[in-house]
Every structure is written in C-alpha cells, then in structure tokens.
C-alpha cells in the first residue's frame, strides 16, 4: 500500500504533466505521439526481459526494487536535460521518459507475482480497488498541488523551474518505495528446472482461445483509445488556452471519479466477474470522447473527465484482473508481459494514426445545411476514437467469457449494481415519496 502511495505521487506530479512539459519545448503532435508510444514499446520488451532474467534475482522483491531505483533516477534527465539543451528539448524528454517507463514495466511481472501470491481469487478485486483508491486520492492531491505550483512559476515567467521541482520531487518520492518494500517478506523464486517454459511455448500451449480473444479486444481497444489520448493536452493548453491550474483540475476530476467508484468496481468484479465489468465499461468508454463536441466550457469538460475517471477505473481494473484470472498461477508473470506487449502494439498504432489524422482531418464538417466548426479538428478525432471504441466492444466482447465461477445475472439486472447507480437506487428506495 505504501509503495502504491509513492507511485501515486509520481503519477500525479510527474507522469500526468509530461506532455505539458513537452509543449513548453515546442513539441509537435509527432513528438507527443512518440512520447506516448515509444516508452510503451520499450516497456513491452522490458517485461519480456524481466520474466526471462527473473532467475537472476533471489526473490520477486529484489527485482522490483531494482526497477524502482531506475524509475527514481530517470526523473533527473527528464527534468534537467531539456533545460540544458532547449533546441533538443522534446527529444531529450522522450529519451528520459523511455528510461522511466522501461524501468516501470520491468517491475510489473515480478510485482504482480509478489502480490497475487498473497491474495485469494475472490478478494483480488477488492484489494486492488482499495489500493487504487488510495493511489487515486493521493494522485488527486498531487495533481492539484502540481497545477498550483506550475501556475505560480508561470506568473514568475519560470515555467521550467516549476516543472523541474515537480519532477525531481516525484523521483525522490518514488525512491522512498524501496524503503517500504524492504520490510516486505518474500519467498525465493521457485526452481522450475526442466519445467521452465519460454514465451513461445506459453503462447502456444498455455493460452486458451478465450484468453487470445481477450488479448485481441484489449489491444484493439488500446489502439482506438490512443487515437485521441495523447492529444487532449494540445486541445486543453493550446486550442482552449486553459491555464495550468484549470488543466490540473481537469486531470484531477478523472482521479476523483476513480477514487469515488473504485471500491464498488472491485466488489462488482469479485461478485459478477471481470467479463461483466468489461462489458459495461467497454461500451461506456466509447461515448466519453464524443462529448467533447458538445461544449468547450470548462465546468462541462471537468464533468466529462470525472465520468471518464469513473469508467476508466472499472475498465482498467477489469483488464488487469482478467489477465490474472485467465491463466495458471505459475504463468501469471508471462501473461502480464504478453498482455502488456499486445497493449503496447495497439498503443503505438493508435498514436501514429492519431498524429496522421491531425494533419489530414478538416477542421470544419458539413452535414446537409449544418456546419460543425469547433476550435480545431481535434474534437472530430475524439469523436472518431469513440466510434472505433464502440466497434471494438460490439465486435469482440461476446467472443470471450468469464474464467471464474461467479454470480450470474442478466445484464439488464446488473445495471443497477453499477457504481453510482447502485447508490442512486438506494436513495430512491429510502425516499419518503416511495414509502
């Protein structure tokens, strides 16, 4: 839990502001695409390497701690190198981010094995939801403080200094997780001897058709999402010209949505299965980017991102927990690495397509006598991303099934078990008008 707390500081005060820092050095949509895609692709290989060399480490904990050390140190070049060589600022930032995310992904398989070995199958959702909730509220506070800090230094005309303080603090706090994890007891890696299998053998014999279809859904969903994902920062800071504090609140709204609903999502997944969770969130996530065509008012954008946080809390939890449930315990590290690789490929394709669309999609669309002309062509790209998300969900959600034995209910009855709606039903039942 304390490791998650440290990571949340880094996510809220570091990762979330990387794109804004890139814009400070005149980053183009191509730079933002690479900043989004390259670290994920390198992270994919880092996870494969992590599994392959896991026997070099005495236990999972020591492997995780080396990865955290790399994450912590990476914030030094991220914060300082663009300041020293401004003309190369976007590329130096990309290089530093690649080191950071590679180290982050290196820890993932070992961390998953370390934690899931201590959890019962029917309590994982609740545990990860609770951990994510703690991270969400910490990230919310950090996001708000980061936006206020950047606004202060913006008024002092020292934008870079605000980012440098934010990033170096993030690196220092991430390193604190080593101290906390040092107190965690772990067992040595199991000796697999002649039973050790490689990724090709695992993918050929250890992966069910069910899991393959899930991977296809997850990879294509990431591709559809990332067509728009990296470019919201351009829309907010350049097209709408929001100050840093309003951008920070917009980011924090999503974190608030996660915090409010993560426990309920965890209980929903434990009780009704992660497949049911993916069905609802996979459809809802397609509607979210379409709403950016409706209005550009800041309160409306904050409200949309709040509900985005609600939906993504469930979708992210479902995607992660389905991987754990769908394979044998001894194959979980490999399954996490394979799933991350598929997602990274989808992530890269999505960002490349999105950057291409920015240069080709018109800024005005005429439908009959009605012309739509938002501040830029980005809302149209957001809308297209939503359409593709709905197509992926509609085509693939029915091709894989829940791997655990869970409580079965018709989807129309499960609607009232969803976060926020469940609370609304409770309030309506207790209303005096219904007595």
Asked if residue 230 lies in contact with residue 354, where contact means CB atoms within 8 angstroms, the answer is yes
Q: What is the DSSP letter of 59?
A: B
Domain annotation for the chain: domains and CATH numbers: 2-185+209-434 (1.20.1250.20)
Strands (E), 80-139: none
Nearest partner of 174 among 277, 65, 309, judged by Cα: 65
Give the predicted TM-score (pTM) of the model: 0.72
Q: Which stretch of DSSP H or E encloses residue 273?
A: none
Burial class (CB in 10 A: 0-12, 13-18, 19+), 261: buried
| pLDDT of the residue at 193 | 41
- Six-digit token pair at 210? 């069910």
- 235, β-bridge pairs: none
- 366, β-bridge pairs: 371
Q: Which stretch of DSSP H or E encloses residue 187?
A: none
Instruction: Report the SS3 class of residue 373.
Output: coil
* Cα–Cα distance for residue pair 148/142, rounded to 1 Å: 10
Asked if residue 425 lies in contact with residue 416, where contact means CB atoms within 8 angstroms, the answer is yes
* Cα–Cα distance for residue pair 200/337, rounded to 1 Å: 12
* Cα–Cα distance for residue pair 427/423, rounded to 1 Å: 6
Q: What is the mean pLDDT of each run of 10 residues along the chain (435 residues)?
A: 80 85 87 82 79 73 83 90 88 91 83 74 71 80 85 86 90 83 64 50 69 92 92 90 88 85 84 89 93 92 93 90 81 78 87 89 76 84 95 93 80 72 60 49
The per-residue DSSP string of 321-372 comes to HHHHHHS-GGGHHHHHHHHHHHHHHHHHHHHHHHHHHHHHS-S-EEETTEEE
- Six-digit token pair at 372? 């739509």
| pLDDT of the residue at 328 | 77
Asked if residue 83 lies in contact with residue 143, where contact means CB atoms within 8 angstroms, the answer is no
* Cα–Cα distance for residue pair 95/145, rounded to 1 Å: 26
| pLDDT of the residue at 195 | 43
CA-CA distances (angstroms) from residue 66 to 63, 105, 373?
5, 12, 50
> Degrees (nearest 5) of the Cα angle 218, 260, 292?
60
């Amino acid at each position: 839990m304390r490791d998650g707390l440290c990571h949340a500081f880094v996510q809220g005060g570091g990762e979330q502001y990387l794109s804004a820092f890139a814009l400070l050095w005149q980053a183009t949509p191509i730079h933002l695409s690479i900043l989004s895609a390259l670290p994920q692709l390198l992270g994919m290989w880092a996870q494969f390497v992590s599994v392959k060399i896991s026997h070099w480490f005495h236990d999972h904990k020591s492997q995780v701690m080396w990865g955290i050390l790399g994450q912590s140190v990476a914030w030094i070049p991220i914060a300082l190198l663009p300041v020293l060589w401004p003309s190369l600022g976007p590329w130096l930032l990309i290089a530093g981010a690649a080191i950071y995310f590679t180290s982050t992904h290196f820890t993932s398989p070992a961390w998953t094995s370390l934690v899931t070995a201590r959890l019962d199958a029917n309590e994982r959702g609740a545990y990860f939801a609770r951990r994510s909730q703690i991270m969400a509220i910490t990230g919310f506070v950090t996001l708000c403080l980061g936006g206020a800090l950047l606004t202060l230094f913006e008024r002092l005309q020292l934008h870079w200094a605000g980012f440098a303080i934010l990033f170096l603090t993030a690196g220092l706090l991430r390193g604190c997780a080593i101290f906390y994890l040092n107190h965690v007891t772990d067992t040595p890696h199991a000796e697999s001897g002649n039973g050790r299998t490689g990724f090709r053998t695992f993918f050929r014999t250890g992966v069910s058709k069910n899991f393959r279809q899930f991977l296809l859904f997850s990879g294509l969903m990431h591709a559809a999402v990332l067509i728009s994902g990296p470019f919201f920062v351009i829309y907010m800071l350049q097209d709408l010209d929001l100050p840093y504090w309003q951008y920070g609140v917009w980011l924090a709204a999503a974190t608030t949505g996660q915090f409010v609903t993560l426990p309920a999502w965890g209980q929903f997944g434990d009780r009704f299965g992660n497949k049911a969770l993916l069905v609802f969130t996979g459809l809802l996530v397609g509607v979210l980017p379409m709403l950016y065509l409706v209005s550009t008012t800041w309160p409306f954008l904050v409200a949309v991102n709040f509900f985005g946080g609600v939906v993504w809390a469930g979708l992210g939890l479902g995607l992660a927990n389905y991987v754990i449930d769908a394979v044998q315990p001894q194959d979980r590290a490999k399954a996490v690495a394979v799933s991350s690789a598929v997602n990274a490929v989808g992530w890269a394709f999505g960002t490349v397509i999105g950057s291409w669309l920015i240069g080709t999609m018109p800024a005005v669309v005429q439908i009959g006598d009605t012309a739509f002309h938002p501040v830029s062509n980005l809302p149209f790209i957001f809308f297209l991303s939503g359409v593709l998300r709905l197509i992926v969900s509609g085509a693939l959600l029915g091709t894989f099934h829940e791997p655990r034995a869970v409580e079965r209910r018709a989807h129309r009855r499960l609607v009232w078990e969803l976060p926020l709606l469940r609370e609304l039903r409770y309030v309506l039942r207790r209303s005096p008008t219904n007595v």
